[in-house]
Amino acid sequence: MSRVELLESDQAPLLARPYYGADGSASPITRALAQVPELLEVAMPLLSRALGEGAIDLRTKEIVILRVSARSGCRYCVDTHTVAAWDAGLSAQETAALCDGELDGDERERALVAWCDTFAAAPAPVSDEVTSALREHFTDAEIVELAVTSGVTLMLNRLCTSLELPTSPGTRARLEETRK
């Protein structure tokens, strides 16, 4: 049960309406942010750009989002981005490893996961060793993008956990189907 009312499409404020589908559907995050339409209006383009494919490919982005979310204990984001990671090409074994263990990936992805673990452990600083390992595989611009993606993820982790947003029915169905 969400801690705030998630606005259905018939109560969607004027500025929020473009973020609801033609069938009236919208994610729980959208329906919560619709309570403050002027925030929704600026947040959605940021979320889309930070979490979606950019100069960094979607698989890498989803590794970052899922790992940071798992480390910060956000049930909503873990559920949502487990499914999103599958759609980005990760296997069920890989998403399980990102949530509960170590990803059996290449050197680049192992360095990335180590960096995510340190990032999510904020306010501890990111060590020289972890940063150096990341720099072996990513440019400055890519590191900035990773930091923005991770930072936005942490913000969403706190938002979704504090508001106790429910996992979308579509996401829940995909998770249950895979667990059968």
Partner 1 sequence: MTTAEALRDAIAAGRVSERLWLYANYHCNLRCVYCLTDSAPEVPRRILPVPQMVQAAEEARALGFLALGVTGGEPFLIPRMPEVLAELAGRLPVLVLSNATLFTAKLLERMRPLAGLPVTVQISLDSAEPDVNDEFRSPRNFAKVVEAIPKLVDIGIPVRIATTGDHNTAEQMERLCALHRSLGVGDDDHVVRPIVARGRAASNGMGVVAQAKDLHPELTLTADGAFWSPFAPTVRDGRPDTDLLVTRRRLPLEDPTRALLALAHANPAGTDTTLNIR
Q: Which residues bind partner 1 (CB under 8 A)?
A: 7, 10-15, 34-38
Residues 6 or more apart whose CB falls under 8 angstroms from that of 58 comprise 52, 88, 89
Task: Choose between 38 and 57: whose C-beta lies nearer to partner 1.
Answer: 38
Task: Choose between 19 and 138: whose C-beta lies nearer to partner 1.
Answer: 19
Q: How far is the CB of 15 from partner 1 (least distance, A)?
A: 6
d(CA 33, CA 12): 10
Structure tokens at 103: 């990803």
Task: Choose between 22 and 55: whose C-beta lies nearer to partner 1.
Answer: 22
Q: How far apart are the first and last CA of the chain?
A: 25
Task: Choose between 12 and 83: whose C-beta lies nearer to partner 1.
Answer: 12
Q: How far is the CB of 5 from partner 1 (least distance, A)?
A: 9
Neighbours of 174 (CB within 10 A): 16
Task: Choose between 13 and 166: whose C-beta lies nearer to partner 1.
Answer: 13
d(CA 145, CA 153): 12
Residues 6 or more apart whose CB falls under 8 angstroms from that of 56 comprise 142, 145, 146, 149
Q: How far is the CB of 52 from partner 1 (least distance, A)?
A: 25
Q: How far is the CB of 22 from partner 1 (least distance, A)?
A: 17
Q: How far is the CB of 87 from partner 1 (least distance, A)?
A: 32
d(CA 5, CA 64): 30
